Amino acid sequence: MGIKSVAIVTGASHGIGKATAIRLARDFSALVLVARDADNLEKTANEVRPLGAEAMVRALDLRDPEAAGTVIADTIEHFGRIDALLNIAGAVPQIDLFEMTDAQWDDGLALKFHGARRLTISAWEALKASQGSVVLISGSAALDPKPGFAAVAAINAAIIALAKAFAEQGIKDGIQVNSVVPGPVMTGRRQSFFEKWAPAHNLTVEDAIKKFPEEVGISRYGKPEEIAGLLAYLVSPMAKWMTGASVRMDGGEIKTI
């Protein structure tokens, strides 16, 4: 029996990307898992396969302009189709606006913005053939920029705009495109951030982790599995009429209408 549905998940070695790959194994026949960390990608694949989905691993750096084309070509060669693309890879350094260098700005854009842009363009014809879905991950900093994380905010805002531009073309081509705007989710990356941030603010890591939700006005951190569930819905048949949306899931952090 041939492969019926194929999803590409970037950033699948850790955090939200890994949780999303595991969740999508219930809905797709095959998953293409993309990240730089080959060892952890294999660990994700080993969790996906027992759930019934075939898994193909591609350990590539999407900052490389050639990587997107390689992922898409390998996917089409192996599976013959692409039904969903979930652009989750990418971390932007939280450095003060007045201290961040041009090189750091360029690096922040290279993976999260340009990597997702190139991958979506490279997958477009295959997604057009399958009438497929694309999701790009942004973040709540886009809606509440501060000097301390200006690059995070600016790049996440650009991703929301990029997704809307893709969605406009997608209406003509039969491709659904949305973005997701998560709030503070407790991942390994966030844990590492607190381990560096806490000593600089005369706090223990435990106190810093406890204090942050109170400061931003939420009851707790989000879980990667919660964002994964939202992403799974957005690429499901039930959400097919939703396109061009920027869907926020942040525990009430952003209090705007």
Of 38-52, 90-104, 114-128, 186-200, the poorest mean pLDDT is in 186-200
Average pLDDT over residues 85-106: 89
- The DSSP 8-state label assigned to residue 87 in this structure reads E
The pLDDT of residue 101 is above 80: yes
Give DSSP secondary structure letters for 202-235: T--HHHHHHHHHHHHT-SS-B-HHHHHHHHHHHT
Domain spans in the chain, listed from the N-terminal domain onward: 6-183+223-249, 186-221
Q: Give, in words, the CATH class of 6-183+223-249.
A: alpha beta
Q: What is the pLDDT of residues 143-159, one digit of tens each?
A: 888 887 788 899 999 99
Q: What is the pLDDT of residues 53-82, one digit of tens each?
A: 999 999 999 999 999 999 999 999 999 999
State the distance between the two ends of the chain, measured CA to CA, in whole angstroms: 48
**Alpha-carbon dihedral sign for residues 209, 210, 213, 217:** negative
Average pLDDT over residues 93-104: 87
The predicted pLDDT at position 128 comes to 98
| Apex 238 CA angle, 240 and 4, nearest 5 | 80
C-beta of residue 31 within 8 angstroms of C-beta of residue 57: no
C-beta of residue 9 within 8 angstroms of C-beta of residue 31: yes
The predicted pLDDT at position 1 comes to 44
Looking at the chain, list the stretches that DSSP marks H as alpha helix, in order from N- to C-terminal side.
15-24, 38-48, 67-79, 102-109, 116-130, 150-173, 188-200, 205-216, 224-234
**What mean pLDDT is reported for the chain?**
93
Q: What percent of the chain has pLDDT over 70?
A: 99
The predicted pLDDT at position 2 comes to 61
The owner of tokens 């989000």 is 222
Calculate the CA 63 to chain-centre distance.
15
Tokens representing residue 133 in the block: 């879905």
Higher-pLDDT residue of 20 and 206 is 20
Confidence of residue 232 (pLDDT cuts 50, 70, 90): very high
Return all residues near 241 (Cβ < 8 A) that are at least 6 apart.
none
Q: What is the pLDDT of residues 126-142, one digit of tens each?
A: 999 999 999 999 999 88
C-beta of residue 70 within 8 angstroms of C-beta of residue 44: no
The model carries a pTM of 0.93
